[in-house]
Amino acid sequence: MNQLLNARFFLLLTTVSATSCAPADANRTSRLNAAFLSVVAAEDARPTGGSAMVRLHVFADSDSRFIRAAAVRALGRLENSGVADRIERALSDPAPEVRAAAANALVQAYFGANGSDALGPLLEQAEVEHDVTARAAVASSLGRLNLDTVDAERASDALIDMSYAHGADAPGELMEGVALGIDALSRSTRAGVVQGRLARRLDELRLYADGSVTRQQQARVRALALNVLGSAGLLDRERMRIALRDESVVVKTAGVRWITTLSPDEQGEALRQAMFSRSVPAQIEGLRFIVGEPRTATTCEYLMSGARTPPPDVDVPVGLRVLSIDGLAEACPDLIAQRDVLSTAAAPDRIDSIDWQPASHALVALAQIAPLAAGSILPGHVAHANPFVRSYAARAAGIIGDRSVLRTLLTDTSPNVRTEALLGLTRLDGRAADRAAIEQLTIVDPQLVMTASAALAGSREPDAGAALSDALDRMSEERRETFRDARRALLDRLAELGGSELSERLIPYLSDYDALVAQDAARVLEAWNGRPYFPTPNPPESSALPTVEELEQMLRSMVVLHMQGGGEIHIALHPYAATTNTWRFFQQARDGDFNGLTFHRWAPNFVIQGGSPNANEYYGDGPFSRDEVGMHHWRGSVGISTRGHDTGDGQIFVNLLDNTRLDHQYTVIGMVTDGLDVVDEVNEGGMIERTEVRPTR
């Protein structure tokens, strides 16, 4: 629905431009875009009052339906129930796209709070709304409210009613909204509402087919229904069999995900269907089920078969091999055969330049079941040029207790390798590793610094406080907002290991550029000196918004990721739905900031994440970006990584399947329009060789 709403914004602008022939209207589109950017600037300020808030209210009364919808959406993104009354008024706007925006915004205004006050207006709107898109927005919004049991049942009844039209299934677009609403409501109530009438309706929707929408949209409804039924323990062998015969990958996968809810005698048949389904995501879910089971001869044979190097003429996705190998980290009845499979997979000559993951994962699994065998293979991994391989070598060394290797890797050029080495040495040596932790504080990498700070908890090293203070200064020099977690970790440890003699060094942080760091500094100083200190933060200016010309340039462009190995991932941008985040991504791609970086995270059937300069979760681009939520996390959508609310860090992730639980919490800046098969093949460490901004018109 939000994608369609976004498209209507585009259509409105295009129509205005195309039909404006008089000279006075020649720049109408540009003027609308300028007004839109003013809305974005006010939203980005996150006002609680003042001129920016006034501006949003004024724009919400604009003559332009496009601007009204943008302003109402912006008011919702403030997540302030104090503006709910103004948003509620927009539910009766003459323009359906404004009413749709209002339904979403009203719920977003109550994010994290009791949503009972918003339920009544939405239920009333459900009774009178006739536009399919706006009605779908009302349906999806109803399920997102945080409600008590009685109100949740009222929302459930309304969603069931909205799933019908004139005694038949509602139109497909509306049914998608209903399914999203039911899915969200089920999650918020822990499936407590999934019974009786709702359970029966879901049982019908798992077979949903409607020619009024695309096959993809139909499949989304079926998959959502299956997931909700599975979460309520209402899937059986026959329902799962039907799901596994579905033409859609997402439906197949939704069925397999709930094998654990079947009776033991039904699980085997469902598993066989999953593993022979020719659907990699379904097979991944099947492997997850196997990994969660006790290591019997049967389960181990599954895992060893998947872990072996396939014949040259057989194409087995790397991810399936990696999951099988990871499952062999637990001892099998035939330990010798298990050791041989892992030793073969982990041999240094099996470390492929691109698909290195099976060998590295096999080394770690081998370290847990046969340490001596792993130790004999370890040197070949330690000396490898790929830092991801060396990181896994450090992990394996920590498991087998090879302190010599760990100390060597503590001087590695990669902070990620040092992080793994320090974790291993700390587990082995406890307080004796404190000196090593202090030495790592000299490296400006947030993940490594956080690891070292945690390792120093309880330390008795006399210079630990000064070293932590030095590290805080280094981490603060670049004024990176995305270093917040590391700087706060240093302050936490300083509170324990420092003292009043360091007060003069900490006082400047009372006026830090990060308000949370300034508050932490005040807290630490008060603890040291026994008197109150008052933070006076000095936040940086917001990042510059695009100009009208740059906004229009984004509309006419796509971003292409050229991956190592030759594949291309084409990303269509959403500059009207997430302007500040899309603009940042556009600039990063245009300037080559992602060139040579990796997707450092592979979470099977969830996401791939990358774009970190140091290939870890904590090292992002410098400034934070604000959340611009509202679009759905369907398979292929591209989102922005965060470290909490309004902390976009410049890293991106791509949804491998539909991840509706991320909706309205993480920003979506684009959609993969070509190259989704390339996305599916990306594993941990997949390299972006270069990015290209390619004109589309």
pLDDT tops 50 at residue 276: yes
> Strand, helix or coil at 616?
coil
Q: Is the pLDDT of residue 26 over 80?
A: no
Please check whether residues 534 and 610 belong to one and the same domain: no
- CA 284 to CA 321: how far, in whole Å? 10
Whether residues 524 and 568 fall in one domain: no
Q: Predicted confidence band at 10 (pLDDT cuts at 50, 70, 90)?
A: very low
Q: Let me know whether 506 and 601 are in one domain.
A: no
Hey, what amino acid is at 298? T
In a domain, 671, yes or no: yes
Task: Look at residues 232, 263, 289 and tell me which one is the last residue of a structural domain.
Answer: 232
Q: Comparing C-alpha atoms, which of 363, 390, 387, 389 is closest to residue 377?
A: 363
Residue 443 neighbours by CB distance under 10 Å: 17
The string of pLDDT tens digits covering residues 414-457 is 999 999 999 999 999 999 999 999 999 999 999 999 999 999 99
Contact 285, 604 (CB under 8 A): no
The whole-number pLDDT of residue 22 equals: 36
- The DSSP letter of residue 168 is E
In a shared domain, residues 182 and 44: yes
Task: Output the pLDDT for position 4.
Answer: 43
Residue 210 and residue 123 in one domain:
yes
Please report which confidence band the pLDDT of residue 24 belongs to, taking 50, 70 and 90 as the band edges: very low
460 inside domain: yes
CATH assignment at residue 663: 2.40.100.10
pLDDT at 25: 53
Q: Which amino acid is at 536?
A: T
When pLDDT is cut at 50, 70 and 90, the band that residue 13 belongs to is very low
CATH code of the domain containing 64: 1.25.10.10
What's the mean pLDDT in 132-153?
Answer: 97
Q: Considering the domain boundaries, does residue 462 fall inside one?
A: yes
- pLDDT grade for 212, boundaries at 50, 70 and 90: confident
> Are residues 200 and 89 located together in one domain of the fold?
yes
Would you say residue 23 has pLDDT above 70? no
Residue 21 predicted with pLDDT over 80: no
pLDDT digits (tens, 9 = 90+) for 342-374: 999 999 999 998 899 999 999 999 999 999 999
Range of the domain at 510: 429-540
End-to-end CA distance of the chain: 25
Helix 116-128 to helix 132-142 angle (10° resolution) is: 150
Task: Annotate 588-604 with DSSP letters as a single string.
Answer: HHHTTTTTT-EE-EEET
Number of domains present in the structure of the chain: 3
For residues 536 and 614, state if they share a domain: no
Measured CA to CA, the distance from residue 42 to residue 52 in angstroms comes to 5
Greater confidence, 23 or 521?
521
CA distance 512 to 537: 5
Give the end of a domain, one of 173, 203, 232: 232
pTM: 0.94
Mean pLDDT value across residues 36-48: 97
Min mean pLDDT across 246-250, 452-456, 514-518, 636-640 is at 246-250
User: Who has greater pLDDT, 493 or 214?
Assistant: 493
Q: Residue 52 domain-assigned?
A: yes
Residue 358 lies in a domain: no
**In this structure, are 448 and 552 located in the same domain?**
no
User: Are 197 and 169 within one domain?
Assistant: yes
Residue 27's pLDDT band (cuts 50, 70, 90): confident
Answer whether residue 352 is part of any domain.
no
136 and 27 both lie in a single domain: yes
Give which of 612, 397, 549 is closest to 33, Cα–Cα.
Answer: 549
If pLDDT is split at 50, 70 and 90, which confidence band does 213 have? confident
| Burial bucket for residue 348 (CB in 10 Å: 0-12, 13-18, 19+) | middle
Which residue, among 58, 67, 2, 75, has the nearest Cα to 29 in the 3D structure? 67
578 shares its domain with 527:
no
Residue 566 inside a domain? The answer is: yes
pLDDT digits (tens, 9 = 90+) for 292-312: 999 999 999 999 999 999 988
The residues facing 674 across adjacent strands are 570
Q: What is the pLDDT of residues 214-245, one digit of tens each?
A: 899 999 999 999 999 999 999 998 999 999 99
- Among residues 507, 540, 573, the one where a domain terminates is 540
The pLDDT mean for the chain works out to: 94
Q: Tens digits of per-residue pLDDT, 516-574?
A: 999 999 999 999 999 999 999 999 998 999 999 999 999 999 999 999 989 999 999 99
Residue 215 lies in a domain: yes
Using alpha carbons, list the distances in angstroms from residue 493 to 76, 437, 472, 507, 610.
38, 13, 11, 16, 29
pLDDT at position 122: 98
Same domain for 494 and 556, yes or no, is no
Res 211: pLDDT: 79
